[in-house]
Amino acid sequence: MNLADLKPYFAFGLLALLLLWEMASPFLVFPKGRARLVHGLRNVLLGVGNGLFTAFAFAGLWWFSAETSAKHGIGLLHWLSWSAVTEGILAVLLLDLWTYVWHRLNHHLPFLWRFHRVHHSDPHMDVTTANRFHIGEIVLSSVLRIPLIFLLGIQIEQLALYEALMFAVVQFHHANISLGSRGDRVLSWFIVTPFMHKVHHSRWQPETDSNYASLLSVWDRVFRSFRHSKDPASLRLGLDEFSDARSQTLAGMLTTPLASKPRPHDSP
């Protein structure tokens, strides 16, 4: 059984573990009972739908691209004569760098932001928010992954490894949990942490437009987009322009890209 086969079991187990952690020791006080259940189900349903669509529409294309790249020696990693381990590490680094660039573009190009704001419009960020993405953003990122595979010479095993690592860290840093200020700060030198990512989900645009990294936090430090909050509990999460109840429904999230609502430039 390979990584791709194990992913659904791993995803469910990690989600269950982080949900239990959130319930036992939540960092922020969020709605409970039915409201919490509805909020989580909506986010998870989006994620499941996106996952199924990606599996049927793009997984085969990625596999074909990786196999063609390997067969004809196309791409950076096929031009190197390094060990499999070294090339695997480099593949993870390059894929994560691309994820950083793509995420940053989603914030700075108005067309892409229309889709990405579905993710940011959640006023109650928890582990289920990690699944809250518009299908339009998923399609665009999936299409762009095909030329990326050829450019870098990514093998399907390397892509599966990166996906597994990123999935775990993305679930982790969206969770409504705390490692404590010192623990979070130390870990944030290596990977994206809950406190670090809460800054990114702030309603104040200078904070929203920071901390773009998904797996390794080094990119925000290298490209000077890292931002720290002394009091993460005081952050206001979500987007002011999508605070109404309808924007939080499945229909509201799916139609968010059609809404003409400018980003407010308010003060913190």
Domain ranges of the chain: 78-137+157-258
pLDDT at 267: 47
pLDDT at 265: 53
- CA proximity to 13, closest of 134, 130, 171: 171
Counting residues of the chain whose pLDDT is more than 70, the rounded percentage is 94
Q: Which residue has the tokens 């130390």?
A: 186
DSSP 8-state code for residue 83: -
Examine the pLDDT at 264 and tell me if it is beyond 80: no
Examine the pLDDT at 268 and tell me if it is beyond 60: no
Contact call for residues 148 and 39 (beta carbons, < 8 A): no
Q: pLDDT by residue (tens digit) across 214-248?
A: 999 999 999 999 999 999 999 999 999 999 999 99
What mean pLDDT comes out for the span 199-204?
97
Please give the residue that has the higher pLDDT: either 265 or 177: 177
Please give the residue that has the higher pLDDT: either 208 or 29: 208
Provide the whole-model pTM: 0.93
Spatial separation of the C-alpha atoms in residues 146 and 72, rounded to whole Å: 15
Residue 152's pLDDT band (cuts 50, 70, 90): very high
Q: pLDDT by residue (tens digit) across 14-59?
A: 888 999 999 999 999 888 889 999 999 999 999 999 999 999 999 9
What mean pLDDT comes out for the span 180-186?
96
Encoded tokens for 249: 């429904």
pLDDT at 260: 83
Bridge partners of residue 202, in order along the sequence: 237
Q: Which residue has the tokens 């010479």?
A: 153
Contact call for residues 134 and 257 (beta carbons, < 8 A): yes
Length of the chain counted residue by residue: 268
Q: Considering the chain, what is the average pLDDT of its residues?
A: 93
Give the distance, in angstroms, between the CA of residue 13 and the centroid of all CA atoms in the same chain.
Answer: 18
pLDDT at 2: 59
pLDDT at 11: 74
Examine the pLDDT at 254 and tell me if it is beyond 70: yes
Secondary element (H or E) of residue 22: helix 3-24
Contact call for residues 22 and 175 (beta carbons, < 8 A): yes
Cα–Cα distances (Å) from 178 to 23, 192, 264, in that order, read 12, 13, 29
